[in-house]
Amino acid sequence: MTAPLPNPGKKYDLDFARWVYDNVNGGDKMALCMQCGVCSGSCPIGTNMDHGPRKLFMMIRAGMQEAVMTSNTPANCTSCYRCVVRCPRSVPVTYILQDLLAKQAELGYRAKDSNENIAFAKSFWWSARAFGRTDERLVTAKYYWSFGPAEFWKRSMENLKIALGFIKKGRMHIGMPHSVKDKKGLKAILDKAREIESRG
Amino acid sequence: MTETATPTKPKKPGVYVCKGCGIGEAVDADALANVAKSEFRIQTTATQDACCSDEGVAAIKADVDAGTVDGVVVAACSHRVMADRFRFNGTPVVRANLREHVAWSQPPGEEDTEMLAADQVRMAITQVQLTLPPLPSQVQEYSRTLLVLGGGITGMTAAREAVKAGHPVILVEKTDQLGGWANKWAGRMPYRPPYRDVQDSGIAKLVEAVKADKDIDVKLDTRVVKTAGQPGAFTVTLSHGGQESVVNVGAVVVATGFRPYDATKLGHLGYGASPDIVTGVELEAMLKAGGELKRKSDGKPVKHIAFVQCAGSRDPDHLPYCSSVCCGVSIKQALQITKADAKASAYIVYEELRTPGTAEEFYRQAQEAGVIFMKGKATKVDAGAMQVSYTDELLGTEVPLAGLDMIVLATGMVPNSTDPDVPVVEPEKSEAQLKGDINPFSAIPVAGYKPGGAEGPTPPAMPHLDRIPEGGPILNLQYRQGPHIPVLADGFSDSHYICFPYETRRTGIYTAGPVRRPMDMAESAEDAAGAVMKAIQAIQGSKMGVSLHPRVGDLSFPKVGHEKCTKCRRCTVECPFGAIDEDETGRPIINPARCRRCGTCMGACPVQTITFDNYNPQMVNAMIEANEIPDEFSEKPRILVLACENDAYPALDMAGINREKWSPYVRTIPVRCLGSVTLQWVSTALQKGYDGIMLMGCKSGDDYQCHFVKGSAIAKERMSKVGETLKSLALEKERVTMAEVSIADSHRVPKVLNEFAELIGGLDPNPMKGF
Amino acid sequence: MSDNKKVRMTYYPGCSSQGSARHLDESLRAVLPEMGVEIDDIADWNCCGASVGHIGGGQLPNLSLTGRNLAKARERGTQDVITGCAACYLNTHGGNEKIKADVKKKAQVNEALAAGDLKYDGDLKVRHVCEVLVNDVGVDKIKDRVKNPLTGLKVAGYVGCQTVRPFAQTQAGGEYDSYDDPNFLDDFTEACGATAVPFQNKTSCCGGSVAVMSPDRTLHLIKNILEEAKEAGADVISTPCPLCQTNVEMYQDQINAKYGTDYKIPVVFYSQLMAVAFGMDGDKDAALQRNTNASDKLDKLAKRGG
């Protein structure tokens, strides 16, 4: 479980940088960032972000907790890993952003653009935990549904043609979800893992 | 040394003309030998295929050994090469440069080329005829002991190094214990692989080693009252508990270190407004005390701390320079705090971080440990809110670090080139002496001598002259030029830190450690070893009666013709090294061991009565006059170049080696330093009919490149007065000029010469020709 | 690998093998044995966690998914585990290396696995099929198997991200190609007798899972890929990555609607090309019928009913 932020809601927080170093996956390596900006320059979708990774990391050092925890930078990461392989200081940028996204949600911040990511991640995990497998059909449906019936209908219609095409080609099946045989064992493992993580 | 017969000038020199390296193709060697024969009545002349070959050298040697010749002119390559080949038992040898300055830089076979070569031979013969083989200056009693001033890491290392090299040491420390600042340090920056962790200062061990060394006479609670004498034979008066004693030492290493910049001047950074705003030195003491780091104000543990780098450094209102160690020190302290308390946040607010070489490893270690580095300039420190505001260069915004438990100002180093504990005696005079000596463009004002003058240049603004560290002299030198060791920029002792580290402008006295430039412990220890080597050389040189740096081994030294001396004091005032004192009557007294043999005194003397046996006003005068000056109808102007032999002449040689071409009308005479150029040479040349004169030497100013520190600056000042001479001869002002060149300027010097030749060609010929 | 030597590996198909990327799975199962790689599936394999598992479920539960898969794989012995899916490779290879390197993580994963009566000691190697083809099989052997060269077929090799990043240049990742400008896919294309067209966007991102959850944010990325492929005159885009194949293929209509373009470019897996080039059945082995944008040219080249 993530340690609570030292001063939630405060604009600047002197403890924030070390909190990130200690609690975010890969955060300890972030301390080595030398602010060259190769990550931001390599990002395929940086224009969507309110801050590039370089700047976000400097904001973390500057203790700009609120701005960082509501930033849309993590939500827009497409996990292309270009920044990771190019970083001259071996900072695992993608991993850090992904975990920052999780921390934003976990600690109740409503980061810009992150609704969809969080809803998608939750739908995905529901399938993974319930069946041990990703049922693309159900994950998508559940994901659409998380925005309410109207949005579900709208998005379903938008993508109906794709879905029908897939069904026709046998790439989306009708019927019971694919599943592992030992669902009980898998759940036990995942629940145990969650319990270990929350005890820290 | 055994006394030999009084040397005399050569009466029957031999002239040997070389035909190698293209000289034979460029000029008529036989014709040159003929110049010697017909014009100078030289009995022994020869042409050789290669003077430097075994046969060539053997032939010359045979003539010398047989007594046929008592002086040698080798008309071949530059005197800067093959010097070891042409050495014949102390017989004067002069080289006429036919290779770099003729064969390699002029078109072969042309009339102008032949004329230049003939003049080179004429000047060389004239020079050898006026050369007296110098004898060493009188050898006084000398001491092998070194005086080391300062018992910190630099001084103690210097003492140990000197003893290892076989020299006893008197180590003087003004406090009651050895160790210096290092006693107060909580560890030091790493200086051994893997360069990642804070290391023990090791100072206790070094103190023990020094105390146990029987060859180091440690004098604690002791001060230097005064210092007199010269290298090899300094007499130093020490004071301990009111008791004075005199010691004799051969050389001095000054390791007086630094004082931290006075933080009370940093009110704008909150110093003094809160007990929790401290300097790096103060924090160091708290870390040294050990235990949990607590606030001074209320004893609460320090969880959030910010270091403000460059506090008062690189700031025109405070210290304009970088002290180089503060970054490493703050990194060290932040790392120590972060490692001791995993929950502590240590911020380092920096503009540029200086972590050269292995310090980069240390920096990385601190980053890995979680020290937080913020790039930007601290704009405000608020003691009430305990807030450091800074403009983050990477975010482009102002960032407040508020609610800090402690703020550390990383202050810089001020050199102890004066002693803060010694009162300034006669403040006005001390300041004038120090500042006057620092500014290469100004001489020290003394009665009867006014620098500058009506037409003199305005000395450039040198704001750093106001930053002389407060205090009295550290050695209290009993020198005519005052008690101080001269300082240069920002109060650090004046030594060219790249070319000639450790040297000061007082021969036999060497500075090491932070008094010379800001440095850390590892650098200081290395510096100490370097200074000791120089100090030992000083003792050896004075024992042999030869010159030290930069004319190492030179036997000649300046002699004053007292019968002609007018006691004008210009020599005592202008000597860059304080080598000349005055007796009660005002007569100059030269201390040969303090002298660097630059000849600045010689250039200063208005009656040309300061001479070296092998270099003097009369000799150069004769060389200038020896050249043939074609009449005004020939359209062959003549340009005299007096070239500094340290940088300008080598640059010309290299231009020749690169086969660069320059005007054939140039006649070059190497001089020891532009400081040795007397105005008389200029007026001689003008009267002889030279059309233009150029002084070619080193850069002056506080980034000087002059080997003799002030020589080129003094020449510049003197030349500013040449206008009067030109006016009296009804000649144009442009005929006399100065050019600053460096040794790397080989591609530029031909251009400089050619442009001047073009300018002179545009003027009417000097009407004094053939007068 | 000498000419007729066979090797057994444990195969991790991944969830997309039962859905959107069935044609990758089917074609791999067809061509791998042809090249001497015999495969056994991980028994009762589960999801790898993909790009968002750790966000939805947490770091350790996500890592435990990999732990369970590898514990199951280890039951077959110490033979290498291979997968053709980029995300499966990223999670499973990366998770495996983490378990090997981080003692604390390994202990925690095993504590979780114990709840399902499993354990994993970190003694397996997890590899990408492409890495195996480059390092173990070799392009020459692929060439040897070609009976039906794809002469005249122009192919834009689109590698995508996670097949090469962040492991292709690491020692554990087999150092099989470069992160930014890999050659292996074009080598496969050429080995099949087709022509690899120059393709700058070979490792540009398609938007990954962000493209799935909110296409609007990433359609421009896919458009760039299509645009260059079209300009290069490619008949098909070839890719090793399931999500790349799906994203680049399925969004073409939406892109056309948004940008007024008329893309209809077939996107196939390299393994489908291999199956055709090996002279295998166009449907059963190459699974060409599963592409929503069919390539007439490729269809014509394919053998049927063989």
- Closest CA of chain C from A184, distance in Å: 8
Name the strand (E) or helix (H) holding B668: strand B666-671
d(CA B171, CA B173) in angstroms, rounded, equals: 7
Q: What pLDDT sits at residue C3?
A: 62
Closest partner residue to A190 (CB to CB) among C61, C165, C291 is: C61
Name the strand (E) or helix (H) holding B390: strand B387-392
Q: What are the residues whose beta carbons fall under 8 Å from the beta carbon of A157, sequence distance 6 or more? A: none
- Binary contact (A31, B372; C-beta < 8 A): yes
d(CA C271, CA C28) in angstroms, rounded, equals: 6
- Chain C residues in contact with A79 by the CB 8 A cut-off are 51, 161-162, 208-209
B426 pLDDT higher than 70: no
- Binary contact (A61, B372; C-beta < 8 A): yes
Q: What pLDDT sits at residue B437?
A: 58
In tens, the pLDDT along B119-170 reads 999 999 999 999 999 988 876 789 999 999 999 999 999 999 999 999 999 9
**Chain A residues 118-177 with a CB less than 8 Å from chain C:** 118-129, 132-137, 140, 143, 158, 161-162, 165-166, 169-173
CB C282 within 8 Å of CB C303:
yes
B608 pLDDT higher than 50: yes
Across B140-149, B468-477, B660-669, C54-63, least confident range: B468-477
CB C196 within 8 Å of CB C139:
no
d(CA A190, CA A186) in angstroms, rounded, equals: 6
Tokens of B743: 């040794």
SS3 for A129?
helix
Residue B107 CB-half CA count within 13 A: 5
CB C66 within 8 Å of CB C6:
no
SS3 for A57?
helix
- Binary contact (C15, A143; C-beta < 8 A): no
**Chain A residues 4-23 with a CB less than 8 Å from chain C:** none
- For range B187-211, the mean pLDDT: 95
Instruction: Pick the closest to residue B692 from B618, B612, B762 (CA basis).
Output: B762
Domain ranges of chain A: 16-106, 114-199
Please report the ipTM that was assigned to this predicted complex: 0.94
- Binary contact (A82, C165; C-beta < 8 A): yes
Strand order in the sheet with C37-41: C37-41, C7-11, C81-83, C126-128
Q: What pLDDT sits at residue B439?
A: 55
Q: Where are the alpha helices (DSSP H) in A24-177?
A: 27-30, 38-42, 53-61, 65-69, 73-76, 82-86, 93-106, 114-131, 136-145, 149-158, 160-168
In tens, the pLDDT along B348-396 reads 999 999 999 999 999 999 999 999 999 999 999 999 999 999 999 999 9
- Closest CA of chain C from A67, distance in Å: 20
Tokens of B279: 């300097």
Q: Which residue has the tokens 């007082």?
A: B506
Q: What are the residues whose beta carbons fall under 8 Å from the beta carbon of B665, sequence distance 6 or more? A: B112, B636, B637, B638, B639, B757, B760
B449 pLDDT higher than 50: no
Portion of chain C with pLDDT greater than 90, in percent: 97
- Closest CA of chain A from B395, distance in Å: 6
Which DSSP string corresponds to B475-520?
S-B--TT-SSPPB-GGG-B---TTTSTTB-SSTTEEE-GGGTS---
- For range B557-563, the mean pLDDT: 94
Q: What are the residues whose beta carbons fall under 8 Å from the beta carbon of C48, sequence distance 6 or more? A: C12, C14, C15, C65, C66, C69, C85, C87, C88, C90, C91, C92
- Binary contact (C209, A78; C-beta < 8 A): yes
Q: Which residue has the tokens 């082995």?
A: C285
Q: Do chains C and B touch (3 or more CB pairs under 8 A)?
A: no
B432 pLDDT higher than 70: no
- Binary contact (A28, B370; C-beta < 8 A): yes
Domain ranges of chain C: 7-128, 147-293
Q: What pLDDT sits at residue B345?
A: 96
- Binary contact (A193, C60; C-beta < 8 A): yes
Tokens of A135: 């049922």
B462 pLDDT higher than 90: no
B453 pLDDT higher than 80: no
CB B608 within 8 Å of CB B679:
no
- Binary contact (A14, B368; C-beta < 8 A): no
Instruction: Pick the closest to residue C222 from A116, A172, A44, A117 (CA basis).
Output: A44
- For range A75-86, the mean pLDDT: 96
d(CA B474, CA B226) in angstroms, rounded, equals: 9
Please write down the HEC assignment for all residues of B669-723. Answer: EEECCHHHCCHHHHHHHHHHCCCEEEEEECCCCCCCCCCCCCHHHHHHHHHCCHH
- Binary contact (A171, C21; C-beta < 8 A): yes
Instruction: Pick the closest to residue C79 from C28, C119, C123 (CA basis).
Output: C123
B486 pLDDT higher than 90: no
SS3 for B665?
coil
C181 pLDDT higher than 60: yes
Q: What pLDDT sits at residue B700?
A: 86
- Closest CA of chain A from B345, distance in Å: 6
Q: Do chains C and A touch (3 or more CB pairs under 8 A)?
A: yes
Write down the mean pLDDT value for chain B.
92
Architecture of domain C147-293: 3-Layer(aba) Sandwich (3.40)
C-alpha distances (whole Å) from C11 to each of A86, C4, C78, C126 are 31, 21, 13, 10
In tens, the pLDDT along B610-621 reads 999 999 999 999
Q: What pLDDT sits at residue B429?
A: 67
- Closest CA of chain A from B194, distance in Å: 18
Highest mean pLDDT among B279-288, B476-485, B574-583: B279-288
What is the DSSP code (8-state) at residue B16? E
Residue B402 exposed, middle or buried by CB count within 10 Å (0-12, 13-18, 19+)? middle
Across A20-29, B15-24, B489-498, least confident range: B489-498
Q: With cut-offs at 50, 70 and 90, classify the pLDDT of residue A2.
A: low
- Binary contact (B392, A58; C-beta < 8 A): yes
- Closest CA of chain A from C149, distance in Å: 26
Q: What pLDDT sits at residue B259?
A: 96
φ/ψ of residue B367, rounded to 5: -60, -45
CATH number of C7-128: 1.20.1050.140
pTM over 0.80: yes
C109 pLDDT higher than 60: yes
Q: How many residues does chain B have?
A: 771
CB B16 within 8 Å of CB B61:
no
- DSSP E strand stretches across B261-330: 277-279, 304-311
Fold of A16-106: Fumarate Reductase Iron-sulfur Protein; Chain B, domain 2 (1.10.1060)
In tens, the pLDDT along B84-120 reads 999 998 899 999 999 999 999 999 999 999 999 999 9
Chain A contact present for C217, CB below 8 A: yes
Q: With cut-offs at 50, 70 and 90, classify the pLDDT of residue A42.
A: very high
d(CA C240, CA B741) in angstroms, rounded, equals: 66
B435 pLDDT higher than 80: no
Q: Which residue of A has its CA nearest to C87?
A: A79
Q: With cut-offs at 50, 70 and 90, classify the pLDDT of residue B721.
A: confident
- Closest CA of chain C from A128, distance in Å: 6
- For range C124-128, the mean pLDDT: 98
In tens, the pLDDT along C34-85 reads 999 999 999 999 999 998 999 999 999 999 999 999 999 999 999 999 999 9
Portion of chain B with pLDDT greater than 70, in percent: 93
Chain A contact present for B302, CB below 8 A: no
Across A26-35, B253-262, B724-733, C200-209, least confident range: B724-733
Helix%, strand%, coil% for chain C, nearest 5:
50, 10, 40
Residues paired with B14 in a beta bridge: B44, B72
What is the DSSP code (8-state) at residue B12? S
- Binary contact (C209, A193; C-beta < 8 A): no
Tokens of B191: 């200086």
C-alpha distances (whole Å) from C216 to each of A158, B504, B732, C212, C219 are 12, 73, 82, 10, 6
Domains of chain B: 1-133 (3.40.1400), 146-259+416-444+461-544 (3.50.50.60), 262-411 (3.50.50.60), 559-610 (3.30.70.20), 616-771 (3.40.50)
